[in-house]
Structure 1
Amino acid sequence: MSGITTRSLTLEALDGYPLSALSIVPEQPKAAVLISSGTGFPKEFYRRFAEAGAARGYACLLYDYRGIAGSAPKRLRGFRASTVMWGKRDMPAAINAAIALAPGKPLFTAGHSVGGHLIGFCPNSDRARAHAFINVGSGYWGQHKPHYRPQVLFFWLVYGPACLAALGHIPAGGPWGGTALPKGVFTQWRRWCFNPRYYGGELDRLLPNWFARVRQPIRSWGMTDDPIATQAASETILRLYENAVSEEVWLSPGDLGQASVGHQGLFTRKGEAFWPQPYDWFDSQL
């Protein structure tokens, strides 16, 4: 892409852990966007979405959380990682790196799934001007669509525990479908997914956290055919950001000229007609 520079880099998390990252930067960026992945999605999954942003003048940064894809050690058994660590140690470093891509310009965030959750655990998320949530909802199994619940219960109660007993982690692919997951990520996530309030019931034990401090606007996009981030699940998460002005935008696959999109399709070619929407919203915040 003419005038756009793509570079692989290594970030240092707040505790020094090395994180794999990818920057996609136009010649004269008007702002920066930090793109935070869903659980088990490698940063490269979001590359086309980031390239669309760079073509609009946004310097985009993609990164892998510790234990995921390019930020995983050679051996996951015994590796210490959790979702809270992603928010408190990894995302802050990524925010600082994204800001450095467009010095003196505004920062925005775009989070897929857990990428929207982490804002509340991130001590410097207030450096962003606004947050775009894409398919962000709680993982509570009872808020998933009914047809999906047997599949997710099998993962939590049968497949996952068997993998931990045999391997010490969740392997890539198979019934899981994503990248390999560290044990601590799985066990923490599973505990929350059996709580109707998700981790809302644990926030007083997960201190410090900054959900109540978030005051930047949030616009949350969801798909009507997403079996995971349903409207009820979306509202569970947005309620945690009690002091932020938030709004929801719900799209059907037909709105994008597709038969199905689901939980991650907005970042594939199926979602290409959607890509301008977050960047249009960022433009309105400049």
Structure 2
Amino acid sequence: MSEADTYHDTRQQERREPEPFTAIAADGYPIRGFAWRHGVPRPVVIVNAATSVRCRYYFRFAAWLHEHGYDAIVYDYRGIGESRPADLARFSASWLDWGERDFEAVLRYVGEGFPGQPVDVVAHSIGGFVVGLAASNGHIRRVFTVGAQYAHWRDYATRSKPAMLWKWHVVMPVLAALCGYFPARRLGWMEDTPRGVALSWSRSERNFEDTYRRRPIARAREQRDALVRRFAAMRVPLLAVSTTDDAFGTVPAIERLLRYFVHSRVAHLRIAPADIGVERIGHFAFFHSRFEASLWPVALHWLVNGAIAPGAPGRIVSSRSGLDETEGESCVPLRRAHEPTTKPA
């Protein structure tokens, strides 16, 4: 048997079916997902999904992380997929619930079920926003985001803006009002979506906290201020990746979110499809298995080393140190690293 065959067999042996789990949120709501575990303690990666994208979309990426030495977690926010209620039309949930309650519940589940293991996060789109909302986000070691923003309409790509305004800021809230939820599956757009999430998106303001001033998703002023402080309290190295053909993840959109993480060391890496020899990546395809050899290693190197891999595609748009930085993990350099990628111990 050749060395390549041996490696293939080893990977197949390591590739396990995930275990279903349920994390109970503070309000008692069950958040359901799947976990890939090793027999010995390893770092664990939580994958935060994009808005109304089922966690099963990230299965191949999570299994790949597992093959490379990590425990991995995927889950569905309330109202979506495995965490959908019987009657979505009478269900209340917004983006804030997805972060304050659902992601928080998963962080606590990992803290109890994976004791002592470092916790990293890979976050897609709104998943990068909900990271800042969780009260326990200080327990995270590193964050890697893809196209992370909160859909403020002024940040959409210019050419796509008229169609996106019609789709997400007219059709979506109107249908959500008529049906009690946004019936996106019938349109072939995404998963059916709670009305409060549809309103969080369609009303998204320049400053995200201002989105939550009107019913039915309103929060009191002191609560909105507390949300902003929660982002600021986070001291975690964060690498934000965007692609030049993502109409949501424009430079202004990515930077708008990053400015809330004032005490984190952050960098923004922007990748063009041509950088990896393809015609298109867009908002969703980073997690498709066709990019296993070209894009997934960018995430893995960051998770392992806390630095951008040497020779990684793209250009660095911005990087900054957090305010009042202290010694420790938060001071890992965000420039391109010169050390080789190694698997977690």
- Give the TM-score category using the shorter length: over 0.9
After superposition, the C-alpha distances for 1:4-61 in whole angstroms (9 at most, x for unaligned) are 4511122211211011111112333420011100101000011111111101111010
For the residues of structure 2 that align with 1:32 and 1:241, how far apart are their CA atoms? 22
Q: 2:209 aligns with which of 188, 199, 204?
A: 199
1:220-260 Cα distance to aligned partner (Å, 9 max, x none): 11111111011111000000111111001111112333210
Q: Is the 8 A contact 2:36 2:63 kept in 1?
A: yes
Amino acid of the structure 1 residue aligned with 2:18? T
Output the CA distance in 1 between the equivalents of 2:168 and 2:188: 10
The reply to whether residue 30 of structure 1 matches residue 50 of structure 2 is no
1:77 aligns with 2:89: yes
Q: Are 1:136 and 2:148 matched, yes or no?
A: yes
Aligned to 1:234: 254
Map 1:1-286 → 2, pairs under 5 A: 1-3=12-14, 4-173=16-185, 175=187, 177-192=189-204, 195-199=205-209, 205-209=223-227, 210-272=230-292, 273-285=294-306
Distance 1:161-1:282 versus aligned 2 partners, 3 A rule: closer
Separation of aligned partners in 1, 2:111 and 2:36:
13
Paired residue secondary structure (1:19): strand
Contact kept? 1:88, 1:123, Cα under 8 Å = yes
Letter of the aligned partner of 1:274 in structure 2?
Answer: L
User: Residue 271 and residue 204 in structure 1: after superposition, are their counterparts in 2 closer, same or farther (change >3 A)?
Assistant: farther
Preserved CA contact (<8 Å) 2:176 2:183: no
Q: Tell me by how many angstroms 1:204 deviates.
A: 5.5
Cα distance in 1 for partners of 2:19, 2:196 equals 30
Q: Return the letter of the residue paired with 2:206.
A: P
C-alpha distance in 2 between matches for 1:167 and 1:41: 20
Q: CA offset at residue 120 of structure 1?
A: 1.5
Query: How far does residue 201 in structure 1 lie from its aligned partner after superposition?
Result: 7.4
Cα distance in structure 2, aligned partners of 1:165 and 1:99: 38
AA aligned opposite 1:71: S
What SS does structure 1 have at the residue aligned with 2:37?
A: strand
The two structures have a TM-score, normalised by structure 1, of 0.92
Counterpart of 2:325?
A: none
> Which structure has more RCO (C-alpha within 8 Å, separation ≥ 6)?
1
- More displaced, 172-181 or 147-156? 172-181
CA distance in 1, matches of 2:112, 2:68: 18
Larger mean Cα displacement after TM superposition, 5-14 or 50-59 = 5-14
In the alignment, the residues of structure 2 paired with residue 174 and residue 258 of structure 1 have an alpha-carbon distance, to the nearest angstrom, of 31
What amino acid does structure 2 have at the position aligned with 1:208?
A
Residue in structure 1 matched with residue 318 of structure 2 by the alignment? none
Question: Which blocks of at least 5 consecutive residues in structure 2 are unaligned?
Answer: 1-11, 213-220, 307-343
TM-superposed CA distance for 1:176, in Å, is 6.6
Off by >3 Å, runs of 4+ in structure 1: 99-102, 197-205
Most deviating of 163-172 and 232-241: 163-172
- CA 1:145/1:245 → structure 2, altered by over 3 Å: closer, same or farther? same
- Distance in 2, Cα, partners of 1:137 & 1:176: 22
Does 94-103 or 80-89 show the bigger shift?
94-103
Aligned CA-pair RMSD? 2.0
Secondary structure of residue in 2 paired with 1:263? coil
Residue 326 of structure 2 corresponds to none
Q: Deviations over 1:89-124 (max 9, x none)?
A: 111111122344543221101110111101211000
Higher alpha-carbon Rg: 2
1:32–1:106: 8 Å Cα contact kept in structure 2? yes
| Distance of aligned partners of 1:84 and 1:165 in 2 relative to their CA distance in 1, 3 Å threshold | closer
Inter-partner Cα distance in structure 2 for 1:65 and 1:97? 14
Letter in 2 for 1:247: A
